[in-house]
Amino acid sequence: MTRWSEFWKIFKEKKLGIIGIIILSCFVILAVFAPLLAPYDPSVRVAAPFLAPSARHLLGTNDIGNDILSELIFGTRISLLIGVIAAFLSISIGLLIGLIAGYYGGIIDSVLMRIVDLILVIPFLPLMIVLAAYLGPSFWNIIIVISILSWVRPARVIRSQVLTLKTKAFVESARSLGATTRRILFTHIMPGVIPLALAQFVLASSYAILVEASLSFLGLGDPFQKSWGTILYYAQARGAFLTSSWIWWILPPGFLTTLLVLGFTFTGYSLEEILNPRLRRR
């Protein structure tokens, strides 16, 4: 039995993981085929403002007459893209820090872990709001803010695995044969932490999507590319709560954000239960 078939056999027993995969697959299809699935161009006025849901506009229209359903479908692309890119960058930073801290140990490990501890004790959301406001509303600025403040948990998890791997016989053998530190890290140790990094990546994606929605709701998102958080911001700023339009303008993006975060969370925790040696032993 191959490692993949063995992994899939175990993963199929995780009901939450299967549910998470199904949810994520639906959102990926929605994002990829948005131009085909959206009934209208989300940037074009197609009807009168504040129309209630109808057969032509299933979720009604916003304050300038854009079709809200089309905005949500295209907004899936932006929310998903920001979450995946920010998670990839944060995991890359966490992987590098975890490898260096775990392998070298000593003063290097102490300094890096004190930096991690310092970032962990700072309230994340207020700091992110300050950084996002300083850098300005932009697609890439949101990604940068999320990435530089969310690598600490992956770094801790990966470091603990590196501490275990570096004492294994195959690493000691490579070191005794004169292998360079770079070769040991990236050829012998990194393959052992990649599965953990994958699980952390999925969890980090859910966190990044939630943070992006929060920052965009506060008006710190890219105004030229509407994500679900930006849709919520415009709904709040333009009086949706003062009329019945909040039902079809605010609830759907909030529900979709929650559902997507749950999809990543279910998948991530199931992967972590399988791939994290400590959780697997339990």
Arithmetic mean of pLDDT, 127-132: 84
Residue 1 lies in a domain: no
Domain that holds residue 191: 13-281
- In the chain, the number of structural domains is 1
Mean pLDDT, rounded, for 121-134: 82
In a domain, 7, yes or no: no
Mean pLDDT on 198-223: 88
165 close to 157: Cβ distance less than 8 angstroms: no
44 occurs within a structural domain? yes
Can you read off the two tokens belonging to residue 210? 């939630």
Mean per-residue pLDDT over the chain, rounded: 85
Predicted confidence band of residue 2 (pLDDT cuts 50, 70, 90) = low
pLDDT confidence bin for 32, thresholds 50/70/90: very high
Q: Is the pLDDT of residue 74 over 50?
A: yes
A 10 A CB-CB count for 211 gives 23
User: Per the domain annotation, does 56 fall within a domain?
Assistant: yes
pLDDT in the model for residue 88 = 94
- 3 located within any domain: no
The 3-state secondary structure of the chain reads CCHHHHHHHHHCCCHHHHHHHHHHHHHHHHHHCHHHHCCCCCCCCCCCCCCCCCCCCCCCECCCCCEHHHHHHHHHHHHHHHHHHHHHHHHHHHHHHHHHHHHHCHHHHHHHHHHHHHHHHCCHHHHHHHHHHHHCCCHHHHHHHHHHHCCHHHHHHHHHHHHHHCCCHHHHHHHHCCCCHHHHHHHHHHHHHHHHHHHHHHHHHHHHHHHHHHHHHCCCCCCCCCCHHHHHHHHHHCCHHHCCCHHHHCHHHHHHHHHHHHHHHHHHHHHHHHHCHHHHHC
CATH number at 50 reads 1.10.3720.10
In a domain, 214, yes or no: yes
Q: Which of 229, 192, 191 is nearest to 213 (CA)?
A: 229
Q: Do the domain assignments include residue 45?
A: yes
Q: Give domain status of residue 6, yes or no.
A: no
Res 280: pLDDT: 53
- The confidence score (pLDDT) of residue 1 equals 46
Q: 139-149 vs 190-217: helix axis angle to the nearest 10?
A: 130
Mean pLDDT confidence for 212-237: 87
